[in-house]
Amino acid sequence: MILFVGLGNPGRVYAGNRHNLGFMALEAIARAAGAPAFRAKFQGQASETVLAGERVVLLLPQTYMNDSGRAVGEAVRYLKIEPRDVVVFHDELDLPPGKVRVKTGGGAAGHNGLKSITAHIGNEYRRVRLGIGHPGDRALVHNYVLGDFAKADAPWIEALCGIIAANAGLLAKGEDDAFQTRVFRDMEAAGLP
């Protein structure tokens, strides 16, 4: 059993925010896998599917970004899984738009969603870091992450989410390096950032 978590803020007002790229990626995985409709569970919206022969619970915390750990912690305890069986999809300021890196553990780099998850389940969960770029000035970060993507960003966001969904089975099997390589290659082949 693997838990995939998409980070974001609930509600229509946040739907297009850069901070919601984790939600967007997880929703794309659910669509591509033909997962059942999300329903209220674990202080979030949850569904379940099978990817590459692995049972995967998909979770969109509804606790708002800064309290994401409450929902993740509840799911981890209920499912009786270890932090290494948790894969968190989140926006990443320190990567250029459209770039993806996967790692286990590490710091939160100021990301309050990651800080909350670490406080609830420890640090040894897997992170799929989805690049959104940096506004260039630390004072601008708050408004930047809570701002909507530009219309011009739509092609790479759609492509990235589709490519992540097409290769999510590799993450379910624990093949993080292969997933990262495949996403890089497919985005490059599409001529996108």
Residues recognised as catalytic: 19
- Give the span between the Cα atoms of 90 and 22, in whole angstroms: 4
What are the Cα distances from residue 19, in Å, to 16, 79, 104, 106? Answer: 8, 27, 20, 20
φ and ψ at residue 41, rounded to 5 degrees: -170, 150
Smallest CA-to-CA distance from 5 within 24, 22, 28, 17 is with 22
48 near 56, Cβ under 8 Å?
Answer: yes
